[in-house]
Amino acid sequence: MTEPAYHIDDLPDYPAFQQLARALWRNGSVRGGSILVGAGLSKNAERPGEDTPEPPLWSELMTEMVERLYPHDQKRAPSNPLRIAEEYRTYFGQAGLDDFLRTRFPDKSWSPGPLHGDLLSLPWGDVLTTNWDTLLERAEHTSDQSYEVVRTEADLTHARSPRIVKLHGTIGDPGPLIFAEEDYRTYPVKHAAFVNLARQIFIENELCLIGFSGDDPNFLQWAG
């Protein structure tokens, strides 16, 4: 049997993995472990065929928007993705923005991949996500852990940990999707309960980021 070229304890982040493991299984730690899930995890979704688009990343959405807003000179487009999304809403209207997102998120055509179920089988204190799809919620039914889903702040009054908390809305729901510059600017006021929850979780738990770059404006504000 061939020995692996490296061992996990050779990884630069191995001490962080150990710390997270102790938190997850409360091995001598009073802090639990929670996770913040971004769009990168959705890339592991299963699709019925090659003609079904895969879940997009923010950068891919921005590229499409820039092509529509600046068809003749894309160099004029702002570099801030939130500003691009806001310009798209201003030009095409809220209905146009909603249609754009719906066509690029055929959520019901996607199925959770094995990684979704494996991730939720870990004993997280809470699972926060900025994703609009329902892959995590559907994967919960196949995992070893049971989670309560929080889609709106009103759900916080009765949902107990562990929870799957949809911080930026859910595609297909009547509520807003957090996407453009104004959405982020007004988020601390309109969604104060989610802001307080996120900050509390960050303080009380070891936090793991999955499929998440860490440069989301809301995350930067919550993390201080």
Domains and CATH numbers, the chain: 8-44+114-223 (3.40.50), 58-104 (no CATH)
Residues with pLDDT less than 70, the chain: 1-6, 28-30, 218, 221-224
Phi, psi of 32 (to 5 degrees): -90, -170
- The residue behind tokens 């039914």 is 141
Per-residue confidence (pLDDT) for residue 8, from 0 to 100: 78
Give the N- to C-terminal CA distance of the chain in Å, as an integer.
49
Six-digit token string for 22: 């102790």
Per-residue confidence (pLDDT) for residue 112, from 0 to 100: 97
Distance CA 201, CA 164 (A): 13
Q: Are 149 and 137 in contact (CB under 8 A)?
A: yes
Per-residue confidence (pLDDT) for residue 224, from 0 to 100: 54
Distance CA 222, CA 199 (A): 6
Six-digit token string for 56: 């997009």
* Residue 133: closest CA among 163, 95, 164: 164
pLDDT in tens, 108-153: 999 999 999 999 999 999 999 999 999 999 999 888 889 999 999 9
Per-residue confidence (pLDDT) for residue 141, from 0 to 100: 85
pTM above 0.85, yes or no: yes
Count of CB atoms situated within 10 Å of the CB of 83: 13
CA quadruple 50, 56, 60, 62: dihedral sign = positive
